[in-house]
Amino acid sequence: MNFKTLPRNSPKQLWSKNLVVLWFGVFMTGMGLSEIMPFLSLFIGELGSYNKQQTTFYTGIVFAVSFLMMALVSPLWGRLADKKGRKLMLLRASFGMAVAFFLMGFVTNVWELMLLRAVQGAFGGYVSNSNALIASQTPKRHAGRALSILVTGITAGTLLGPLLGGILAGLFSYRLAFHITGIIMFSVFIFTYFFVKEGSGEHKSTLTAHASATPIGIRAILKNHFLFILISTTLFVQVVTMSINPILSLFVKELVNPNSTSSITFIAGVVAAMPGISTVIAAPMFGRLGDRIGTQKLLIFGFIFASIIFFLTSFVTSILPLILLRFLTGISDAAMLPSVQTLLSKNTSAEHTSIVFSYNQSFQSIGSVLGPITGSVIASIFAYQGIFIFSGALMLVNLIFFWAVTTKNRRYR
């Protein structure tokens, strides 16, 4: 793209440059949020004399409290973003998480860690506000590609984060790893402050539009069946993802030959990484394809493809087919998640973009809490294969509801 031929404040120049900056921002955010995961339970074990059951319980609470807080406060931040500007919310999120992570390195008990995880969740929302900013600036014909590129940023960061966290914890200490995570988030704050631009007059026009707009809340979204099915899709996809991840290593352990000298941990890591790798590869291509053939068609393909892959996964009896099918799962994610973001963008007015994307973030956080619980219950009753059957069935149900809503109203695209 040749920026020299564009006027200084060209809208095309603005959204393209912001896309590059925010890709870096969501990449670093994904890395920062995920790099503490490999040693979080080990760190909790050092904060007190806990047995295995207590450590597991506290790890679950510390993990979940961040998502619970995010689910509660995201709509409040989204409403404020529509009033005060989305860049301000990006700065608030990155700075708040930087402080929370840095302070985690000083905690002396699990309750302090739990409190700071809650603060981290309360100040979250960098990714959802990045999506909202790009969605509001990007021409509708390029929205799918732009939002798909952002998905590759958060996915790549989430993939590399655990690797970086494991290296930092091994070379230094758990506490220093928290400090470094805080520094990473502060770098996102600095980068956002200097390089993200809302555009000349854009914020003012947003405020004017907001002043004359009807306030939108969860009731309004529930009445709009199309918006509701979209954010419900986000919830269902997250439930499916989080129901599988906690038991993946245990499922791998069942499939590995007991006489194999291969590391179960290493194989489980490879299996866990497959969806993210394929999502990073496929998302930009699907974004461009959705802009050409229609995002709605791409989302329907994602539902069907995901259902098939999950049902097939329930029959695997060895590692190699599991690796292949988990790779294909990422392709279905690449078709569904950016499509939801794009359809939200295309069917939401500019003055309500942030609040709608924030509700989408809230539903995703609820899915992160419900997923592990659902997976544990299903695995205890039907074994690990039952989780994949449940996931495939959930995607089929989602497809049926989406088809019914869009068939009634052809204006959605």
Q: What is the dihedral of CA 48, 53, 59, 61, to 10 degrees?
A: -110
Higher pLDDT, 338 or 199: 338
Q: What is d(CA 405, CA 343) in angstroms, rounded to the nearest whole number? A: 14
pLDDT per residue over 241-262, tens digit each? 888 876 777 788 788 765 554 5
Q: What is d(CA 337, CA 230) in angstroms, rounded to the nearest whole number? A: 10
- Contact present, 42 and 168 (Cβ < 8 Å): no
Q: What is d(CA 311, CA 315) in angstroms, rounded to the nearest whole number? A: 7
Distances in Å between the alpha carbon of 136 and those of 143, 153, 179? 9, 19, 34
Q: Which of 110, 129, 130, 95 is nearest to 63 (CA)?
A: 110
Residue 234 φ/ψ, nearest 5 degrees: -60, -45
Mean pLDDT, the chain, rounded, equals 83
CB atoms within 10 A of CB 388: 24
- Contact present, 291 and 242 (Cβ < 8 Å): no
Residue with tokens 């939200």: 344
pLDDT band of 139, cuts 50, 70, 90 = confident
Task: Give residue 364's pLDDT.
Answer: 86
CB atoms within 10 A of CB 125: 29
Residue 147 amino acid letter? L
Percent of the chain with pLDDT over 70: 88
pLDDT band of 409, cuts 50, 70, 90 = low
pLDDT per residue over 339-353, tens digit each? 888 888 888 777 777
Residue 334: is its pLDDT beyond 80? yes
Task: Give residue 259's pLDDT.
Answer: 56
Q: Which of 300, 286, 243, 7 is nearest to 146 (CA)?
A: 286
pTM of the model: 0.78
Q: Which of 68, 124, 81, 84 is nearest to 101 (CA)?
A: 124
pLDDT per residue over 364-398, tens digit each? 888 888 888 888 788 878 888 899 999 999 999 99
Of 25-39, 84-98, 283-297, the range with the highest mean pLDDT is 84-98
Percent of the chain with pLDDT over 90: 30
Q: Minimum mean pLDDT among 15-19, 28-32, 139-143: which range?
A: 139-143
Task: Give residue 211's pLDDT.
Answer: 42
Q: What is d(CA 76, CA 142) in angstroms, rounded to the nearest whole number? A: 29
Q: What is d(CA 228, CA 232) in angstroms, rounded to the nearest whole number? A: 6
Task: Give residue 208's pLDDT.
Answer: 45
pLDDT per residue over 107-134, tens digit each? 999 999 999 999 999 998 898 889 888 8
pLDDT per residue over 174-219, tens digit each? 899 899 999 999 999 999 999 998 865 444 445 444 444 455 666 7
Q: Which of 203, 131, 139 is nearest to 11 (CA)?
A: 139
- Structural domains of the chain in order of their starting residue, each with its CATH number: 12-212 (1.20.1250.20), 214-408 (1.20.1250.20)
Task: Give residue 302's pLDDT.
Answer: 94
